[in-house]
Amino acid sequence: MSKRVVIVGGGVGGTIIANLLAKKMRQEVKKGDVIIDVVSDNPIHFYQPGLLYMLIGLKNQEELTRDERKLLDPMVELHLHPAVKIDKDKNEVHLKNGVILNYDILVIATGSKPAPEVIPGLREGGNWFYELDACLKLRHELMNFKGGKIVLAIGLPHKCPVAPLEVTFMLDDWFRQKGVRDKVEYTYTYPIGRLHGLESVANFAAKTFPERNIKSETLFNMKEVDANKKTITSIEGVTLKYDLLITIPPHKGAQVIEDSGLGQNGFIPTDRYTLKMEGSNNVYVVGDTTNLPISKAGSTAHFESDIIVENIASEIRDGLTPFRYDGKVFCFIETGLTKGTYIMFDYNNPPNVVPPSSLIHWFKLTYNKVYWLTPMGIL
Amino acid sequence: MADLKDIKADVVVDARGTYCPGPLMELIKEMRQQPVGAVIEVISGDAGSAKDVPEWLKKVNQEFLGVLEENNYWRIFTKKTKEM
């Protein structure tokens, strides 16, 4: 009797898992003993980290998109209809077009997205770059910005925890290149009492900010934005004036997760080692969708995917799931337009920031071009 | 106040070994998402959290219930007392 693996979500995690599994279990898939389905609401696969570059004219939209069908192994079936309900008791995924997929093993890879509506006034007064349309709008604002106060404000949770620093460093360089840096007062705010969640990264920023005339306001958690007065107020009681508000809005998971009763705000309670949904034996959770207190980042999804694929194959063949995720995360950090650094860490080893270099920056630019090999399961 | 060891939190965030975003960021996230009255326990392997968390709670007028020091980790108990 065949085994059906259904993957809900066609982002980086869902696509890697589908492709790696199809490759690993090629013979079983060819014989029809294993069936792999991907459910996605979008025919286009989007390379989200590229938005940081598109923001200041270093990438265009075409470079950041590929047809999801073309990225997927031909043996994987793609359903381009949103999942509207996941019934874990009946092992069913219900699609919007009425189709019900029965699964033996389910992978939930529904991701997260900005939810500016959580903060009063943020949608009206704020600009963000984590989504295509918002990025295009902010790009327009930046291209026409003649000078004034820029405030960067961050909501929790959010994906790509180093992006607030990257956009700060990159804009600093960009304004310098344009010769208007002296007309820009840039204030970076952060939710806790230092400049980043990671201590070594916070120390790096604390050393770098004064050299680059970047102001900061720590212990700043957004409460409300007044788009008319152009002010943002924190729950800690600080109000900042701005001419341009750049924000990383708080994120939410997918609606189908909440609607199916699988997790508050769309994030699913997940075992940090097995990556199985808590209380379930046949449901895996990957990437931003977990409620794990780790970085919501593409690399996290990538490393988790390797473990999930090994365990799914092992479970189907031997009834065992011996592989464990060690918490590995890797993130490039652009420290401007010409240099970059990176951090790598896991559950047992904290990160250290290596000195920024042109080499790492060029490595990142190269990865931006070859990213497509990652969801294809090659890199 | 009840003995900390007897408190059953509504939400437990085990942030041991998870360096990013970090224990206080996790607490802030939960404080914003949970309903008023929720007891939130953050487990941290970082001694600094036992100091940072009460300072932030004081700043935003939320309740710090206390901290239990275990073997190389800290259990920090808080309660959401008002909307934020």
pLDDT digits (tens, 9 = 90+) for B34-47: 999 999 999 998 88
Sorted by where each starts, the structural domains of chain B and their CATH numbers stand as: 4-79 (3.30.110.40)
The residues, ordered by sequence, that sit 6+ positions from A372 with a Cβ below 8 Å of its Cβ are A47, A66, A71
Superfamily of domain covering A3-111+254-328: FAD/NAD(P)-binding domain (3.50.50.60)
Structure tokens, B28: 């802030």
* pLDDT tens sequence across A154-208: 999 999 999 999 999 999 999 999 999 999 999 999 999 999 988 899 999 999 9
Residues 6+ away with beta carbon under 8 Å from A315? A105, A321
Residue stretches of chain A with pLDDT short of 70: none
Query: Do the beta carbons of residue A269 and residue A291 sit within 8 Å?
Result: yes
- For residue A197, give the nearest of B13, B21, B32 by CB distance: B21
**ipTM surpasses 0.90:** no
Q: What is the pLDDT of residue A143?
A: 96
Mutate to test the interface with A, among B11, B20, B83 (most CBs of A within 10 A): B20
Half-sphere exposure of A231 (CA within 13 A, CB side): 7
The pLDDT, as a whole number, for residue A147 is 97
Q: Which chain B residues are Cβ-neighbours of A157 within 8 angstroms? A: 21, 25, 29
Catalytic residue among B1, B6, B19, B20: B20
Q: Is A125 on the interface with B (CB under 8 A)?
A: no
Testing the interface with B: which of A122, A154, A156 to mutate, by most B Cβ within 10 A?
A156
Query: Residue B1: pLDDT above 60?
Result: no
Quote the pLDDT of residue B2: 62
The Cβ of residue A197 has, within 10 Å, a number of other Cβ atoms equal to 23
Give CA–CA dist A270/A276, Å, rounded.
Answer: 6
User: What are the pLDDT digits (tens) for B55-73?
Assistant: 999 999 999 999 999 998 9
Helices (H), ranges, A82-193: 122-125, 132-143, 163-178
pLDDT at B51: 84
Cα–Cα dist A238/A247, whole Å: 16
The two tokens of residue A218 are 């720590």
Per-residue pLDDT, B13: 92
Element (H, E) at B25: helix B23-33
Token digits of residue A315: 């479970």
The predicted pLDDT at position A123 comes to 98
* SS3 (DSSP) at A66: strand
What are the structure tokens assigned to A370, written together? 């070859």
Residues in chain A: 379
Asked if A216 and B52 count as a contact pair (C-beta separation under 8 A), the reply is no
**Record: contact B14-A329, CB cut-off 8 A:** no
pLDDT of res. B48: 82
Phi, psi of B39 (to 5 degrees): -100, 125
B20 given a catalytic annotation: yes
The domain limits of chain A are: 3-111+254-328, 115-250
Would you say domain A115-250 falls under CATH 3.50.50.60? Answer: yes
CA distances from A119 to A167, A360, B25, B33, B42 (A): 21, 36, 17, 12, 24
Under 8 Å between Cβ of A308 and A107: yes
